[in-house]
Amino acid sequence: MASAMSGSRTLASNAGSGTSAAERGSDSWSRPGVDFNHHHPATPTTKAARPTATYRTRNISSVIVDESPRIKNQYAAPAAAHQWDPAYDLCKETPASMFPRGNFIRLTILVIPAALGVTLQWAPARAGPDEATSRPAVRGPGTVEMAARLQRLREETDPRQNIYLNARRAAILTERIGHADSKPQELLWRFMLAKELMRAGEPDAAIDELASIERWWTDSGRPMGPQDRKRFRDQMAISMLRIAEQENCCAQHNSDSCFVPIQGGGIHNLERGSRGAIRHLTDALNEDPDDLAALWLLNFAYMTLGEYPQHVPEQWLIPEQVFESEYDLGRFYDVSGPLGLDVISLAGGSIMEDFDRDGLLDIMASSWGLSDQLRYFRNNGDGTFTDRTTQAGLLGIVGGLNMTHADYNNDGYPDVLVLRGAWWGEAGRHPNSLLRNNGDGTFEDVTVAAHVLSLHPTQTAAWGDYNNDGWIDLFIGNESSPKWPHPCELFHNNGDGTFTERAAELGIAHVGFVKGVAFGDYNNDGLPDLYLSVLRGPNILFRNDGPKQAGARAGPGDATPWGFTDVTSAAGVSKPTGSFPTWFWDFNNDGWLDILAFGYAWSSVGDVVADLLGRPHRGERPWLYRNNGDGTFTDISRTAGLDRLVLAMGANFGDLDNDGFLDFYAATGEPDYRAVIPNLMFRNAGDERFQDVTTSGGFGNIQKGHGVAFGDIDNDGDQDLHVVMGGAYSGDRYQNLLFKNPGGSNHWLTLQLEGVQTNRAAIGARIRVRLRTDRGDRDIHLVVSTGGSFGCSSLQQEIGLGLADSIGSVSITWPTTGKTQVFENVAMDRAFLVRENEPELVPLQRRRFDLPTVGVPGNPPG
């Protein structure tokens, strides 16, 4: 559940002109006490001078621009492939019995041509937040070309194909309601309109439509059936909760907002939304006490008013114990507001990386809206960030549900791949973007020039040097359906700035609804293997068999015949059958890579609540596969404490407490606005067990989380956490988060690896740190990567050492040569550069600084 920060009734009242306040980006979105225009990216973005609770609520990525749909789309398949079918859209939530003389087939025939046969004009795109005060970089020809492509796609996208263009869909329905042929048709369209208005961030307007339907039923003297009442109440309750959120969590946003259990500044000052929701949810539970979604939302509504648990009716009280943590990790606070990183966005990707090689981790964030600008924030090294989106030449690079980065041309500067089209079916035939880092603070889209242009719906990709030739290759997992196959792609790096697609030749052109991919050498033979997480089918493990000709060695750009084998069954890693994010990691430090795959399909908020209460459910849990060291794996989720529903979309891992064992953060949710469930953090206890530390660490934000990145953003030796928030529907926007690590007493080591024969970023290099402790020696094992499949952590390795007495040795195994370098007597609590074949570590002088905590509890107000 997230915010569009929109004023009441603007969509409905502006329908005649074909524009909404959101699409115009106008000040009609404003609410009293909210500053929409404070952000000036040409200067360091701090909020020290702002009045209390006036965080940004609109910026470049929160302006929805829905231009004139021209229906014919040269990039997408014909509209018939994914027509908006109101019959299907309503059959799950609004049966014909809700409407008098309910011949549903007849109504559907009326709705499809009448409600959708309209073309509207929409507002042009607005400039970015720094355009007025910054001189834009001269964009390269590739960027100009891609921006034009994306603009055409924006203009041509048909809201009948894309169910997430809710403002446009609402405007179409508003236009047609006045031309309804009958009262049943009008009521049907009004209920559809209420749903679209709420999804577009207009809950007041949605309630108006629902109230008009209710008045008709009351005046007619005809009672609603039980299922109709349930759907009606559900819609009213969630619309009221959306009002509560907009008026409090967003208009009066602070660092406590939306974190459960809600306390302190998170308690709502304006009560009408939550009070209204409580009325409808109470009615729903009186009629159906087993409605677990309503049960959860009722407890949540009371919580927003500071009345949980004492005022929740006993029979519907969710016990406080479900929020308790198993370990006190220390409180992490969201400091995105003071840093100016609290971009309002939809679902998107996150990257934390040093893009300009100044020793400071920067932030890149995407948002999947067709007009949502990619954002690039430069770390100034003094507790401030500067939005360099314009100066970096990125204007017009919009959309993208996920991103991943690597140094594909070995020039020492990380490049970025933006992934598009996921969840849209045939309407998702959008190009990805390969953004080359020019090393001068600018990027250029080289998708076409590098020969990686393809038009398949996707959100997941992984970089890996599959043939160990020193040039990083790219695997993209695409989303297929039974009718529309989209094979996965492997782009072989030719070593000259271009790629060649070779997936079919290598035997890895899998056709499935792929939601996560990862490279990792699970059998320790020196070759990166490949794991695919599939939402609608079994997961796949491809073993890298190397060159088909014995003794052949790959050289730069070499296309030596190579082979992969599907070993899923033998390895025992096909589940869960409906999974989402995934990764390889060595969670138990035994030197063998393990696999974590998160279940997702068939789960809902009701299933999550059932799981919390110990009741049966149909949801999919995570599967933690421990590597047995013999080519097989064993699922240990139950004994590891992960036998529970997580509903993760984005996820990543890191070592938050620097104890030498990898923890993970799960960014949770689903498009349904009722999915008001907390994001989760799990601490690795070091004994093949994980502990839920969500509440003690302050991670339980109930907004929908997506891209997750770990990294030491303030150079103080511990990892901080960046999360892109926001949902799928056009009104489901929320501030991105940056969690500041409170630190601790454990030691640390930061290593920046640089390949020479190996790819420059050293992706795939293996690290072993041997520690001397009072209990004897122990090893920590890591592999250089960006982490999980949805969100990208820094490629520098930030290694927790626990309470070690000293470091005995650091061993680096370089994948291209297979050689291992060993460094002894390495100092703790320091950062070093490790260059392949160089005999000594190079100390790095990193600027340590404090992150501002303005507005954080116990600190001065914002």
CB 761 within 8 A of CB 409: no
Where among 207, 239, 260 does a domain terminate?
Answer: 260
> Kind of pairing, strands 747-754 and 830-835?
parallel
> Kind of pairing, strands 579-585 and 690-692?
unpaired
In angstroms and rounded to an integer, the radius of gyration of the C-alpha atoms of the chain is 26
Confidence label for 66 from pLDDT (cuts 50, 70 and 90): very low
pLDDT mean over 727-744: 96
Written as six digits, the tokens of 224 are 């609603």
pLDDT mean over 605-609: 92
Which residue do the tokens 């009609």 mark? 28
Other residues' Cβ atoms within 10 Å of the Cβ of residue 420: 26
The type of residue at 401 is L
Closest CA to 573 of 593, 590, 587: 593
Q: What are the beta bridge partners of residue 514?
A: 534
The residues, ordered by sequence, that sit 6+ positions from 289 with a Cβ below 8 Å of its Cβ are 315, 316
The pLDDT assigned to 229 comes to 86
Confidence label for 63 from pLDDT (cuts 50, 70 and 90): very low
- 516 in a domain, yes or no? no
Beta strands in 36-131 (DSSP E): none
Q: 822 by DSSP, 3-state: which?
A: strand
Where among 236, 260, 284 does a domain terminate?
Answer: 260
Write the CATH number for 804: 2.60.40.1110
Q: Specify the range with the lowest mean pLDDT, choosing from 128-132, 317-321, 343-347.
A: 128-132
pTM over 0.75: yes
Q: What's the mean per-residue pLDDT of the chain?
A: 85
- What phi, psi does 198 have (nearest 5°)? -65, -40
The pLDDT assigned to 134 comes to 54
397 versus 1: the higher-pLDDT residue is 397
Q: Does the CA dihedral 337-416-598-607 come out positive or negative?
A: positive
Peptide bond into 159 cis (omega under 30): no
Q: 404 by DSSP, 3-state: which?
A: strand
- Give pLDDT tens digits for 205-239: 999 999 999 998 888 888 888 888 888 999 999 99
- Give pLDDT tens digits for 617-639: 999 999 999 999 999 999 999 99
- 123 in a domain, yes or no? yes
Written as six digits, the tokens of 671 are 């498009």
Other residues' Cβ atoms within 10 Å of the Cβ of residue 358: 13
Other residues' Cβ atoms within 10 Å of the Cβ of residue 279: 14
The number of distinct structural domains making up the chain is 2
Distance CA 762, CA 794 (A): 12
- 557 in a domain, yes or no? no
Cα–Cα distances (Å) from 520 to 29, 125, 179, 425, 525, in that order, read: 47, 42, 59, 29, 11
Cα–Cα distances (Å) from 851 to 203, 309, 531, 708, 731, in that order, read: 36, 35, 37, 19, 31
Confidence label for 112 from pLDDT (cuts 50, 70 and 90): very low
Confidence label for 578 from pLDDT (cuts 50, 70 and 90): very high
CB 336 within 8 A of CB 363: no
Exposure b/e, 835-851, CB count within 10 A at least 16 = b: bbeeeebeeeebeebeb
- 648 in a domain, yes or no? no
Domain that holds residue 75: 10-260
- Give pLDDT tens digits for 483-516: 999 999 999 999 999 999 999 999 999 999 999 9
Closest CA to 724 of 452, 375, 469, 292: 375
- 53 in a domain, yes or no? yes
- 206 in a domain, yes or no? yes
Where among 220, 241, 260 does a domain terminate?
Answer: 260
CB 379 within 8 A of CB 372: no
- Give pLDDT tens digits for 283-293: 999 999 999 99
Cα 749–752–758 angle (5° rounding)? 135
| HSE-CB of 580 using CA atoms within 13 angstroms | 29
Closest CA to 667 of 675, 678, 657: 678
Most confident of 257-266, 443-452, 594-603, 843-852: 443-452
The pLDDT assigned to 4 comes to 33
Taken as a whole, the chain contains a residue count of: 862
pLDDT mean over 428-441: 98
Closest CA to 815 of 755, 754, 758: 758
The pLDDT assigned to 854 comes to 65
Percent of the chain residues past pLDDT 90, beyond the cut: 76
pLDDT mean over 456-464: 99
Give the sheet arrangement for strand 514-520, strand by strand. 514-520, 529-534, 540-547, 562-566
Q: Specify the range with the lowest mean pLDDT, choosing from 14-18, 512-516, 572-576.
A: 14-18
One-letter-per-residue 3-state SS of 228-279: HHHHHHHHHHHHHHHHHHHHHHHCCCCCCCCECCCCHHHCCCCCHHHHHHHH
Distance CA 798, CA 802 (A): 13
The pLDDT assigned to 17 comes to 33
pLDDT mean over 439-458: 98
pLDDT at 61 over 70: no
pLDDT mean over 669-674: 92
One-letter-per-residue 3-state SS of 759-776: CCCCCCCEEEEEEEECCE
- Give pLDDT tens digits for 300-337: 999 999 999 999 999 999 999 999 999 999 999 999 99
Q: For the purposes of burial, counting CB atoms within 10 Å of the CB of 151, is it exposed (0-12), middle (13-18) or buried (19 or more)?
A: middle
Distance CA 576, CA 38 (A): 46
Distance CA 533, CA 671 (A): 20
Helix 166-177 with 104-116: angle, nearest 10 deg:
110
E strand or H helix at 598, and its extent? strand 594-599
- 112 in a domain, yes or no? yes
The type of residue at 201 is G
Distance CA 786, CA 796 (A): 9
Distance CA 375, CA 39 (A): 13
pLDDT at 30 over 70: no
Distance CA 358, CA 347 (A): 29
pLDDT mean over 792-808: 98
pLDDT at 477 over 50: yes
- 386 in a domain, yes or no? no
- Give pLDDT tens digits for 658-667: 999 999 999 9
